[in-house]
C-alpha cells in the first residue's frame, strides 16, 4: 500500500497512554510499508512524548503546542489536528477508542466527510485487503468491516492490539507546527479527578472488580490490596456503584467502561448482562461468588465458590509468597 498514516497520540498527566503505542502497531498492521506519522498536542514542550512515539514505531512526529491545548476540548484539538491533516494529506488516521478518541474522531470524520470504523479489536490483512473486526450487540457477536473507498479512519479498543517492542535506537524527525487555536466556546478551568491513582482501568492488564457482594466501601479494601500486589486496577459493577460502595469512575459494563484485560477477577458480582457487556472479552476471567448458580460462572474460565472475604485474603497471601513479599 505504501501510503501515509497519522496516529493521534493521547497524553495524560504528561505521559503518553499505552493505547497510543497500540495505535502505532495497528497502523503498521494496516500498512507495513507506509509512513507512520505521529501527532501530539499540548501546551508545553512535547519533544519527549514525540521521541517516545518514535521509539515505538512512528517514523516521524508532528507536535502542536498552544496554551489552549493544555486540557482536552474537542474544539481545540480538532483545530490543531485538522491543520496537521491538511498539511500531511494522509491515507489513514488511527487513534485509541478512549473517552477522548470517542469524542474527537467523529468530529474529525464529519469535517473530513469521511467514514469512521470505531472500537476495532483486531485487524486482518490479506495482501492489499484490510479487514477491521469490531464487537457488536454488547460483545455477543463480531462484525467485519472493509473500507472500499476514501480515508481509512479507525479507533482501536485499548489492550487488544499489542504494541511493538520499544526500540531506543530508532530515529525520526520531530516537527513543531504552529496552529492558532482560537474561538473556543468551552474553556476548562480546572480538572477534578475522581478516579483512583495507579493503573488506568481501561488499559490495565489485571482488573479486580467488585459487586454488591462486597457489601460496603470497606469491603473494597481487600480488592485494592489484591490489585496492588498483582499490579492491576480496581473496577466495579453498576450495583456496587449504585450502592455507593465506590465511585462511578470505576464502573464496568454497558453504561460504564469496556475493558479487555489479560486477567479479570469478578468478586461478588452476579453476572448481569449489562456487566458482562463490559468485560466478557477479557482473556481470562476468574469468578468468586458464594452462589454456585450465579450467572458469572457461565462466562468464567475459573470459578471459586466461597466467601470472598475468606478467598481474597488467601489469594493475596499466595501472590505475595510467589513474589517473595513478606506476608
Please determine, for residue 1, whether its predicted confidence score (pLDDT) is greater than 80: no
Domain assignment of residue 188, yes or no:
no
Say whether both 99 and 206 belong to one domain: no
Q: Report the pLDDT value the prediction gives residue 300, as an integer from 0 to 100.
A: 96
Contacts of 173 (CB under 8 A, 6+ apart): 60, 61
pLDDT band of residue 307 (cuts 50, 70, 90) is: very high
More confident residue, 136 or 1: 136
Please give the Cα distance from 133 to 141 (Å, whole number): 10
pLDDT band of residue 234 (cuts 50, 70, 90) is: very high
Write down the number of H helices and E strands in the chain: 8, 17
Yes or no: say if 244 and 320 are a contact pair by the CB < 8 Å rule. Answer: no
Question: Residues of 14-51 as b/e, b for ≥16 C-beta within 10 angstroms?
Answer: eebbbbbbbbbbbbbbbbeebbbbbbbbbeeebeebbb
Say whether both 15 and 68 belong to one domain: yes
Alpha-carbon torsion, ordered 175, 110, 56, 16, to 10 deg: 80
Mean of the pLDDT values across residues 66-72?
Answer: 92
Q: Is the full-model pTM beyond 0.95?
A: no
CB atoms within 10 A of CB 173: 11
Rg (CA), the chain: 21
Domain assignment of residue 194, yes or no:
no
Mean of the pLDDT values across residues 5-13?
Answer: 95
Domain assignment of residue 221, yes or no:
yes
Residue that terminates a domain, selected from 177, 193, 223: 177
Query: pLDDT (tens digit, 9 = 90+) per residue, 198-225?
Result: 678 888 999 999 999 999 999 999 999 9
Q: Report the pLDDT value the prediction gives residue 214, as an integer from 0 to 100.
A: 96
Mean of the pLDDT values across residues 152-162?
Answer: 95
Say whether both 308 and 169 belong to one domain: no
Q: Report the pLDDT value the prediction gives residue 11, as an integer from 0 to 100.
A: 94
For strands 263-267 and 117-120, give the pairing.
unpaired
CA-CA distances (angstroms) from residue 153 to 22, 35, 108, 294?
15, 16, 10, 41
Residue that terminates a domain, selected from 144, 177, 210: 177
Say whether both 164 and 246 belong to one domain: no
What CATH number does the domain containing 113 carry? Answer: 3.40.50.620
Average pLDDT, the chain: 93
Domain assignment of residue 279, yes or no:
yes
- Give me the residue label for grid cell 510467589: 322
Please determine, for residue 2, whether its predicted confidence score (pLDDT) is greater than 60: no
Mean of the pLDDT values across residues 136-162?
Answer: 92
Structurally, the chain folds into a number of domains equal to: 2
More confident residue, 13 or 83: 83
Say whether both 160 and 54 belong to one domain: yes
Strands (E), the chain: 4-8, 11-12, 15-16, 35-42, 60-65, 92-96, 117-120, 122-126, 129-136, 141-146, 152-156, 173-177, 206-210, 233-236, 263-267, 284-289, 302-305
- Give me the residue label for grid cell 477534578: 192
Say whether both 14 and 124 belong to one domain: yes
Domain assignment of residue 187, yes or no:
no
Say whether both 11 and 119 belong to one domain: yes
- What cell was used for 188? 476548562
Please give the Cα distance from 24 to 30 (Å, whole number): 10
Say whether both 212 and 104 belong to one domain: no
Percent of the chain with pLDDT over 90: 83
Dihedral sign computed on CA atoms, order 227, 230, 232, 238: negative
Say whether both 318 and 208 belong to one domain: yes
Please determine, for residue 325, whether its predicted confidence score (pLDDT) is greater than 80: no
Q: Report the pLDDT value the prediction gives residue 184, as an integer from 0 to 100.
A: 83
- Long-range (24+ apart) CB contacts under 8 A made by 297-300 are 297/271, 298/271, 299/271, 300/266
Please determine, for residue 170, whether its predicted confidence score (pLDDT) is greater than 90: yes
Q: Report the pLDDT value the prediction gives residue 182, as an integer from 0 to 100.
A: 87
Backbone angles phi, psi at 207, to 5 degrees: -130, 135
Please give the Cα distance from 169 to 167 (Å, whole number): 5
What CATH number does the domain containing 205 carry? Answer: 3.40.50.1220
pLDDT band of residue 195 (cuts 50, 70, 90) is: low
Say whether both 52 and 84 belong to one domain: yes
Identify the weakest region by mean pLDDT among 35-44, 45-54, 318-327. Answer: 318-327
Reduced to 3 states (helix: H, G, I; strand: E, B; else coil), residue 159 is: coil
Identify the weakest region by mean pLDDT among 65-69, 120-124, 179-183, 288-292. Answer: 179-183
Domain assignment of residue 189, yes or no:
no
**Domain containing residue 57:** 4-177
Mean of the pLDDT values across residues 123-141?
Answer: 90
Please give the Cα distance from 174 to 61 (Å, whole number): 5
Domain assignment of residue 195, yes or no:
no
- Give me the residue label for grid cell 474522531: 105
Amino acid at each position: 500500500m505504501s501510503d501515509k498514516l497519522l496516529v493521534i497520540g493521547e497524553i495524560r498527566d504528561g505521559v503518553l497512554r499505552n493505547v497510543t503505542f497500540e495505535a502505532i502497531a495497528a497502523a503498521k498492521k494496516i500498512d507495513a510499508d507506509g509512513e507512520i506519522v505521529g501527532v501530539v498536542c499540548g501546551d508545553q514542550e512535547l519533544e519527549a512524548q514525540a521521541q517516545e512515539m518514535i521509539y515505538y514505531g512512528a517514523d516521524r512526529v508532528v507536535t502542536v503546542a498552544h496554551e489552549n491545548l493544555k486540557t482536552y476540548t474537542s474544539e481545540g484539538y480538532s483545530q490543531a489536528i485538522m491543520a496537521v491533516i491538511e498539511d500531511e494529506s494522509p491515507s489513514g488516521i488511527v487513534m485509541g477508542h478512549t473517552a477522548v478518541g470517542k469524542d474527537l474522531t467523529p468530529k474529525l470524520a464529519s469535517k473530513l466527510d469521511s467514514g469512521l470504523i470505531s472500537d476495532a479489536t483486531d485487524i486482518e490483512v490479506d495482501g492489499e485487503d484490510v479487514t477491521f473486526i469490531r464487537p457488536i450487540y454488547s460483545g455477543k457477536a463480531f462484525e467485519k468491516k472493509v473500507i472500499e473507498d476514501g480515508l481509512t479512519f479507525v479507533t482501536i479498543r485499548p489492550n487488544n492490539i499489542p504494541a511493538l517492542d520499544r526500540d531506543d535506537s530508532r530515529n525520526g524527525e520531530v516537527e513543531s507546527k504552529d496552529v492558532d487555536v482560537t474561538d473556543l466556546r468551552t474553556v476548562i478551568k480546572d480538572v477534578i479527578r475522581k478516579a483512583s491513582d495507579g493503573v488506568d482501568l481501561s488499559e490495565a492488564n489485571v482488573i479486580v472488580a467488585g459487586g454488591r457482594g462486597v457489601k460496603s466501601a470497606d469491603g473494597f479494601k481487600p480488592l485494592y490490596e489484591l490489585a496492588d500486589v498483582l499490579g492491576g486496577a480496581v473496577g466495579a459493577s453498576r450495583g456496587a456503584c449504585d450502592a455507593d460502595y465506590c465511585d462511578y469512575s470505576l464502573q464496568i459494563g454497558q453504561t460504564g467502561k469496556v475493558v479487555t484485560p489479560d486477567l479479570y477477577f469478578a468478586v461478588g458480582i452476579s453476572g448481569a448482562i449489562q456487566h458482562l457487556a463490559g468485560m466478557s472479552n477479557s482473556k481470562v476471567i476468574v469468578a468468586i461468588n458464594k452462589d454456585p448458580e450465579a450467572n458469572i460462572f457461565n462466562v468464567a474460565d475459573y470459578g471459586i465458590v466461597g466467601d470472598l472475604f475468606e478467598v481474597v485474603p488467601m489469594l493475596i497471601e499466595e501472590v505475595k509468597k510467589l513474589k517473595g513479599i513478606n506476608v
